[in-house]
Chains A and B, each alone.
Chain A
Amino acid sequence: MLDVADLVTAYGKIEALKGVSLHVGKGQITCLLGPNGAGKTTLMMTIAGILKPRRGSIRLEGTELVGLSPARIVANGVALVPENRLVFPQMDVRENLLAGAYQRRDKREIAADVERMYARFPHLAERRDQLAGTLSGGEQQMLAVARALMSRPRLLLMDEPSLGLAPLVVAEIFRIIAELNRDGTSVFLVEQNAHMALQVAHHFYLVEQGRVTFDGSPGALAEDEVIQRAYLGTRRTGA
């Protein structure tokens, strides 16, 4: 689905990504783990076209995304649910969803998709005329996901969707991620909550200081001693 090769993104002289290569499988959920400052968000923003890489390539089913504008990347079928959600606070829920379909012109289908989002996220349906800035954190996260889905992405990027949310809401988010994946959307997920990620993801990468340091299946991840200590805590040994 997505092939990232030797990607370098820098802020001035500081390279946040120092040659990252990874693969997101079609129809799969791929999870990227890593400590704060490892370059996870930088990678997501680079794939989405917000940040320009210094070198390297990002291919979506063969199409080179590097050099395309964020709008073109959305039109190519990639949508990012950004870290901290970034809903449009002064616009109501419905307008947020419509903005998510900005690249589409099929008015009738857009209206039908808005209704589908209300069906999938009943909380949003109840709050459709409310300003997004007045929603709770969990509702804003749902809205951010729904807004991204409005572009009908083939690949959904999610940057720490569980950040700052209550456990029940986190479980709900992961249930939705699994559901979307079952419906055929490929997902590339950045997550600090490795326990939750282990339940849904098909493949894992670990990135540290701008480099990929682990690449493997959920089984291999759970076996890896270093990762166990850093990301899974003592729960496995304690249980």
Chain B
Amino acid sequence: MIDFAQNTLDGVMAGSSYALLALGFTLIFGVMRRLNLSFGPSIMVGAYLGTFLYVQYGAPSLVVALVAVAGAALAGIYVERLCFAPMAAGAGVASMVSSFAIWMQLEQAAILILPRHTYAFPPLSTAAPLALGPLLVRPDHLIVLACTAVLTAAISVLIYRTRYGLGLRAIINDTVAAHLVGVDVKKSLIVAFALASAIGGVAGYLVLAVDQQVTPMFGMWATIKGLIAMMIGGLGSIPGAVVGGLVLGIVEMHSQWHFGPQIRDLVAYGLLFACLVLRPGGLFGAPPAGETMIEK
């Protein structure tokens, strides 16, 4: 029973970073109705820049964090300008494929910055685990959980309570009509992309600071975890991203405990598969009805 509770707690902790990744992913998908496969690699560019400063110059954690977030946001803008802005609206497949090409490019760029396979990443906190009754929780995990809660609330306020969010939702509803009421669509999309990538950057920084190491596989890892969490929760849904991330984290921790790390990923993909079959739109989203990838 205590094992079950501890696994669930660990799952929530791991899941909160997935939720953050899914939040960034879903923001881009919700606005553009297109899949940005370069989401994870953009995060990795920021993380590598941060690591570079840490390894070469011993930069403090705060600098590493800021560079990781800013680098991810800039890489996100780069991807938007290259893969999404030039493609006509609805060209979902073209921008997805080009975002895959940029994925490869960014991954190679990261390897050029830091050619070895593994580098140290500054830890978030080295304090001893806290005891919650019989359960243990790592302080750095609590920081991740708090960041996820704060960022999710902030994004919800931004989208539902501000002028910028009103414009963004107008674009999501009808892009032509958004132009007609005076929304600067181009600018709003760049900001949304940068914002989503910055959220990803925060997630990336937190995950790496918990793991205390970074490898070139991180970009792929972030894309896949974020994608699965988003698909489980529902495409383009903020609560869906959070719930999807937490569900994924909890399921992973339990399956790792019972079956080991190899089976853990298998179970995660199985969960995605089951979700796609039973609820194609995800837990919170409407069924995509084919309009997600192929429009008109």
Determine the chain A residues whose CB is within 8 A of the CB of B167 once the complex forms. Answer: 99, 102
Partner of A71, one of B163, B176, B182: B182
A91 touches B170 (CB 8 A): yes
* CB-CB contacts below 8 Å: A51-97 with B: 69-71, 74-75, 79-80, 82, 86-91, 95
A50 touches B170 (CB 8 A): no
Is A211's CB within 8 Å of the partner chain B?
no
Known: A69-B184, A71-B184, A102-B163. A49 touches B179 (CB 8 A): yes
B9 to chain A, nearest CB (A): 36
Determine the chain B residues whose CB is within 8 A of the CB of A89 once the complex forms. Answer: 173-174
Determine the chain A residues whose CB is within 8 A of the CB of B278 once the complex forms. Answer: none
Question: What 0/1 readout, one digit per residue, does chain B (167-179) give for beta carbons within 8 Å of chain A?
Answer: 1011011101111
For the side of the interface on A, what is the size category?
20 to 34
B172 touches A90 (CB 8 A): yes
A151 touches B179 (CB 8 A): no
B181 touches A74 (CB 8 A): yes
Determine the chain B residues whose CB is within 8 A of the CB of A154 once the complex forms. Answer: none
A98 to chain B, nearest CB (A): 6
B284 to chain A, nearest CB (A): 14
Partner of B177, one of A75, A87, A95, A103: A87
Determine the chain A residues whose CB is within 8 A of the CB of B183 once the complex forms. Answer: 71, 99, 102
B181 touches A100 (CB 8 A): yes
A86 touches B169 (CB 8 A): no
B182 touches A75 (CB 8 A): yes
A50 to chain B, nearest CB (A): 6
Is B137's CB within 8 Å of the partner chain A?
no
A102 touches B182 (CB 8 A): yes
B182 touches A88 (CB 8 A): no
For the side of the interface on B, what is the size category?
10 to 19
State the CA gap A69–B183 with chains docked (Å).
10
B182 touches A74 (CB 8 A): yes
State the CA gap A71–B188 with chains docked (Å).
12
State the CA gap A79–B178 with chains docked (Å).
12
Partner of A102, one of B170, B173, B176: B170
Is B66's CB within 8 Å of the partner chain A?
no
Is B166's CB within 8 Å of the partner chain A?
yes
Query: Which of A70, A75, A151 has most B Cβ within 10 Å?
Result: A70
Determine the chain B residues whose CB is within 8 A of the CB of A102 once the complex forms. Answer: 163, 166-167, 170, 181-183
State the CA gap A230–B48 with chains docked (Å).
69
* CB-CB contacts below 8 Å: A129-156 with B: 147-148, 150-151
B179 touches A88 (CB 8 A): no
Is A212's CB within 8 Å of the partner chain B?
no
Is B180's CB within 8 Å of the partner chain A?
yes
A50 touches B173 (CB 8 A): no
Is A48's CB within 8 Å of the partner chain B?
yes
B180 touches A80 (CB 8 A): yes
State the CA gap A99–B175 with chains docked (Å).
12
A50 touches B180 (CB 8 A): yes
State the CA gap A69–B177 with chains docked (Å).
14
B176 touches A82 (CB 8 A): yes
Determine the chain B residues whose CB is within 8 A of the CB of A103 once the complex forms. Answer: 181-182
State the CA gap A90–B237 with chains docked (Å).
13
* CB-CB contacts below 8 Å: B166-219 with A: 166-167, 169-170, 172-174, 176-184
A181 to chain B, nearest CB (A): 21
Partner of B180, one of A74, A95, A98: A74
A88 touches B180 (CB 8 A): no
State the CA gap A99–B182 with chains docked (Å).
8
Write the chain B residue with the least CB distance to A87: B177
Known: A75-B182, A98-B166. A88 touches B176 (CB 8 A): no
Determine the chain A residues whose CB is within 8 A of the CB of B169 once the complex forms. Answer: 88, 90-91, 95
Determine the chain B residues whose CB is within 8 A of the CB of A70 once the complex forms. Answer: 179-180, 182
B182 touches A151 (CB 8 A): yes
State the CA gap A48–B176 with chains docked (Å).
11
State the CA gap A147–B182 with chains docked (Å).
11
Known: A99-B166, A102-B163. A91 touches B173 (CB 8 A): yes
Pairs across A and B, CB under 8 Å, 6 listed: A50-B179, A70-B182, A102-B163, A103-B182, A148-B181, A150-B181
4 more A-B residue pairs beyond the given contacts A50-B180, A99-B170, with a C-beta to C-beta distance below 8 A: A87-B174, A99-B181, A148-B181, A150-B181
Please give me the 9 A-B residue pairs with the lowest Cβ-Cβ distance, nearest first. Answer: A74-B182, A88-B173, A103-B182, A86-B177, A70-B179, A71-B182, A102-B182, A99-B170, A71-B184
